[in-house]
């Protein structure tokens, strides 16, 4: 398990344990963080948008072209920051223990 520090939309913060074989989106969705994950991780909805903390953004693998395209597509409806990511594309790993994310506002 990987510890992930999550800041919810209401500003509350807590740490959750994320399975290393499960996309972060599924853990956030199943734990009630308001993440929909409507497309099931196909990068076609943007409902799993999170902001990765500055300290962690460069440590994750870079977003794919498809992920970048989806983030650009949702930018008309939600604030997209340089550290924006789709949580369906983040696979927790022990090397990311302590990862910090903020749930983005719903578009």
pLDDT number for residue 106: 84
CA-CA distance, 60 to 107, in Å (whole number)? 24
Provide CATH code, domain 2-103.
Answer: 3.10.20.30
pLDDT digits (tens, 9 = 90+) for 45-89: 999 999 999 999 999 999 999 999 999 999 999 999 999 999 999
Q: What residue ranges in the chain does DSSP mark as E strands?
A: 2-7, 13-18, 49-52, 84-86, 99-103
**Selected residue with higher pLDDT from 106 and 68:** 68
Class of residue 47 by CB neighbours under 10 A (exposed 0-12, middle 13-18, buried 19+): buried
What are the extents of the domains in the chain? 2-103
pTM above the 0.75 mark? Answer: yes
Q: Which residue has the tokens 């994950």?
A: 37
pLDDT digits (tens, 9 = 90+) for 5-41: 999 999 999 999 999 989 999 999 999 999 999 999 9
């Amino acid at each position: 398990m990987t510890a992930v520090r999550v800041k919810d939309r209401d500003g509350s913060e807590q740490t959750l344990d994320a399975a290393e074989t499960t996309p972060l989106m599924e853990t956030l969705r199943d734990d009630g963080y308001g993440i929909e994950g409507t497309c099931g991780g196909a990068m076609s909805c943007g409902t799993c948008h999170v902001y990765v903390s500055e300290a962690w953004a460069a440590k994750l693998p870079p977003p794919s072209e498809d992920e970048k395209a989806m983030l650009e597509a949702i930018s008309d409806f939600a604030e997209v920051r340089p550290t924006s990511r789709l949580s369906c594309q983040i696979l927790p790993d022990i090397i990311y223990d302590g990862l910090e994310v903020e749930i983005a506002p719903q578009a």
